[in-house]
A and B are shown apart, each in its own frame.
Chain A
Amino acid sequence: MKLTGAEIITEVLIEQGVTDLFGYPGGAAINIYEALYHRQDKIKHYLTAHEQGATHAADGYARATGKTGVVLATSGPGATNTVTGIATAYLDSIPMVVITANVGTDLIGKDSFQEVFITGITQPITKHNYAVRDIDKLAETLRDAFRIAGSGRRGPVLVDVPKDITAATYEFSPMPRWEEPKVSSAPQSELLKVADLIAKAKRPVVCFGGGVISSEAGGELVEFVKKARIPTCHTIMGTGVIGFGDDLDMGMIGMHGSMTANSAIDETDLLLAMGTRFSDRVALNLRDFAPHATIVQFDIDESEIRKNVMADMAIIGDIKTELQSLIPLVEGKERPEWLETIGNWKKEYDIINGKNITGIRPVEIMEVIGEKCGSDAVIATDVGQHQMWAAQFCKKTRPRGFITSGGLGTMGFGYGAAIGAKIALPDATVFHITSDGSFHMNMNEACTAVSNNLKVITVIFDNKVLGMVRQWQTSFYNRHYISTQPERKTDYVKVAEGFGARGFRAETKEEFEKVLDEALAGEGPAWIVCPIDREERVLPMIPGGGTVRSAIME
Chain B
Amino acid sequence: MNEKKAIIALLVENNANVLSRVSMLFGRRGYNIDSLTVSETNDPTISRITITTQGDDRIIEQIVLQTRKLVEVKAVQLEDENEAILRELLLVKVAADESQRATIRDICEVYKASIVDFSPSSIVCELTGKPSKINGFLDVIEKYQILELCRTGVTAMDRGNKIMSCENKESHKC
Contact = CB atoms under 8 A, between A and B. Distances in A.
A301 B20 contact: no
Contact of A303 (B20, B24, B28, B62): B62
A303 B71 contact: no
B21 A148 contact: no
Contacts of A147: 171
Interface string B1-27: 000000000000000110011001100
Contacts of A302: 65, 68
B61 interface: yes
B20 A148 contact: no
B77 to A, nearest CB: 15
Contacts of B28: 124
Contacts of A119: 17
A148 B24 contact: no
A123 B21 contact: yes
A127 B72 CA distance: 11
A123 B21 CA distance: 7
B69 interface: yes
B20 A306 contact: no
A301 B69 contact: yes
B167 to A, nearest CB: 13
B80 to A, nearest CB: 21
A128 B20 contact: no
Given A303-B65, A306-B58, A307-B62, A123 B71 contact: no
A128 B71 contact: yes
Nearest to B172: A144
A306 B71 contact: no
A336 interface: no
A408 interface: no
A461 to B, nearest CB: 34
A131 interface: yes
Nearest to B57: A306
Contacts of B21: 123
B66 interface: yes
Contacts of B65: 302-303, 305
A120 B18 CA distance: 11
Interface in A292-330: 301-303, 305-307, 310
Contacts of A305: 65
Interface string A119-138: 11001100110010000000
Given A131-B17, A301-B69, A306 B24 contact: no
A144 B25 CA distance: 21
Interface in B43-73: 58, 61-62, 65-66, 68-72
Contacts of A144: 171
Nearest to B72: A128
Given A123-B21, A124-B24, A303 B69 contact: yes
A301 B66 CA distance: 10
Contacts of B62: 303, 306-307
Nearest to A133: B16
A363 to B, nearest CB: 39
B69 A148 contact: no
Given A148-B171, A301-B69, A303-B66, A120 B61 contact: no
A305 B64 CA distance: 12
Contacts of B70: 128
A120 B16 CA distance: 11
Contact of A306 (B61, B69, B171): B61
Contacts of A128: 70-72
A525 to B, nearest CB: 38
A303 B71 CA distance: 14
Contacts of B58: 306, 310
A339 to B, nearest CB: 36
A301 B69 CA distance: 9
Nearest to A305: B65
Interface in A258-312: 301-303, 305-307, 310
A147 B172 CA distance: 12
B72 to A, nearest CB: 8
A123 B66 contact: no
Interface in A89-139: 119-120, 123-124, 127-128, 131
A443 to B, nearest CB: 32
Name, among B16, B20, B21, B68, the residue most crowded by chain A CB atoms within 10 Å (CB to CB).
B21
A148 B71 contact: yes
A120 B27 CA distance: 14
A209 B166 CA distance: 33
A124 to B, nearest CB: 5
Contacts of A131: 16-17
B97 to A, nearest CB: 48
Contacts of A306: 58, 61-62
B145 to A, nearest CB: 41
A64 to B, nearest CB: 27
B73 to A, nearest CB: 11
Interface in A210-261: none
A310 B57 CA distance: 12
A123 B24 contact: yes
A166 B17 CA distance: 22
Contacts of A307: 62
Contacts of A310: 58
A120 B17 CA distance: 8
Nearest to B27: A124
Contacts of B66: 303
Interface of A: 119-120, 123-124, 127-128, 131, 144, 147-148, 301-303, 305-307, 310
Interface of B: 16-17, 20-21, 24-25, 28, 58, 61-62, 65-66, 68-72, 171
15 contacts: A119-B17, A120-B17, A124-B24, A128-B70, A128-B71, A128-B72, A131-B17, A147-B171, A148-B71, A148-B171, A301-B69, A302-B68, A303-B62, A303-B68, A303-B69
* Nearest 8 interchain pairs by C-beta: A303-B65, A128-B71, A124-B28, A303-B66, A123-B24, A302-B65, A124-B24, A303-B69
